[in-house]
C-alpha cells in the first residue's frame, strides 16, 4: 500500500494503519514488530503462531522440528503442507479487523500465492527488513542455533559426499539472494537488519525510519 507521510499519519491517528513486516527468518521481524506494537499500541498478529497452533504445537521449536531439514526424509511433503497452512494462516490474518495492526509474516510469505500477496499489498504498508552481506554469517549460524521452519523450494543442493550441514551452509546464500528479489517487489519501504538491531537505535527511531519520506 503506497502511502504518503500525511496518509500514514492520518491512518495511524484514526486507528486504521496496517503494517506488515517481511524478510528472512531470524532477521529481526518479530523482535521489531513486538517493540513497535508495545510502544505505539498496535495489535500484533503473528502468522507463525497461527500455523503452529493449527498443527497442535506449543512453540516455534516444535514447529521447526516437525518440518525438519531439507535433507530429511519426507521433507518435501511437509514443505508443501507448510506452504498450504501458511497460505490459510496469512489469509486468516488479513481478515482480522483491529485498530492499528502489525502483521508479522513468515519468511516464506512470498510463496503464499498471487491472490494473497495482492491482498497483502492492497491492505498493508509493507516493511522489508533486509539482510545485508554482514548479516549472512549470523543468519547461517542462527539457522542451527535457533531453528525455525524454513521453506527451501529448489534452492537446497547437496553435492555427492558433502555433509548435510555443509550443504545447508552452501545453499543458504542462494536462497537468500532469490528471496531478496521477491521481498523487494512486495515492499513499500526497506530497513536494514543492522539498523533495527542496533542498540543505539530506539524504537521511536525505528518507527520514524519506516514511515514514508514525504
Straight-line distance from the first to the last Cα atom of the chain, in angstroms, rounded to the nearest whole number: 15
Q: Which residues have C-beta within 8 Å of that of residue 153, sequence separation ≥ 6?
A: 79, 111, 175
pLDDT attached to residue 170: 92
Host H or E run for residue 81:
helix 75-94
C-alpha cell at 40: 505505539
pLDDT digits (tens, 9 = 90+) for 121-133: 999 999 999 988 7
pLDDT attached to residue 135: 83
| Low pLDDT (below 70) residues in the chain | none
Strands 101-104 and 18-22: parallel
pLDDT digits (tens, 9 = 90+) for 55-97: 888 888 888 888 899 999 999 999 999 999 999 999 999 999 9
CATH number, residue 53: 3.40.50.300
Cα dihedral 91, 54, 178, 35, rounded to 10, equals 80
Considering only CA atoms, which of 110, 131, 120 is closest in space to residue 45? 120
DSSP code, position 130: E
Count: domains in the chain: 1
Domain of 192, in residue numbers? 5-210
Amino acid at each position: 500500500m503506497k502511502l504518503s507521510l500525511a496518509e500514514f499519519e492520518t491512518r495511524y491517528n484514526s486507528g486504521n494503519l496496517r503494517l506488515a513486516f517481511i524478510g528472512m527468518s531470524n532477521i529481526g521481524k518479530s523482535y521489531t514488530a513486538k517493540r513497535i506494537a508495545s510502544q505505539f499500541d498496535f495489535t500484533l498478529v503473528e502468522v507463525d503462531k497461527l500455523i503452529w497452533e493449527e498443527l497442535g504445537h506449543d512453540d516455534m521449536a516444535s514447529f521447526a522440528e516437525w518440518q525438519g531439514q531439507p535433507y530429511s526424509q519426507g521433507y518435501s511433503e511437509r514443505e508443501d503442507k507448510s506452504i498450504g497452512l501458511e497460505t490459510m494462516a496469512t489469509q486468516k490474518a488479513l481478515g482480522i479487523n483491529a485498530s492499528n495492526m502489525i502483521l508479522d509474516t513468515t519468511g516464506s510469505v512470498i510463496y503464499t500465492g498471487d491472490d494473497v500477496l495482492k491482498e497483502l499489498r492492497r491492505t498493508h504498508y509493507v516493511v522489508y527488513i533486509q539482510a545485508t552481506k554482514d548479516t549472512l554469517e549470523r543468519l547461517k549460524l542462527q539457522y542451527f542455533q535457533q531453528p525455525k521452519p524454513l521453506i527451501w523450494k529448489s534452492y537446497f543442493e547437496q553435492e555427492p559426499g558433502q555433509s548435510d550441514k555443509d550443504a545447508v551452509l552452501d545453499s543458504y546464500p542462494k536462497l537468500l539472494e532469490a528471496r531478496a528479489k521477491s521481498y523487494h517487489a512486495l515492499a513499500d519501504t526497506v530497513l536494514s537488519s543492522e539498523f533495527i538491531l542496533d542498540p543505539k537505535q530506539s524504537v521511536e527511531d525505528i518507527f520514524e525510519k519506516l514511515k514514508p519520506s514525504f
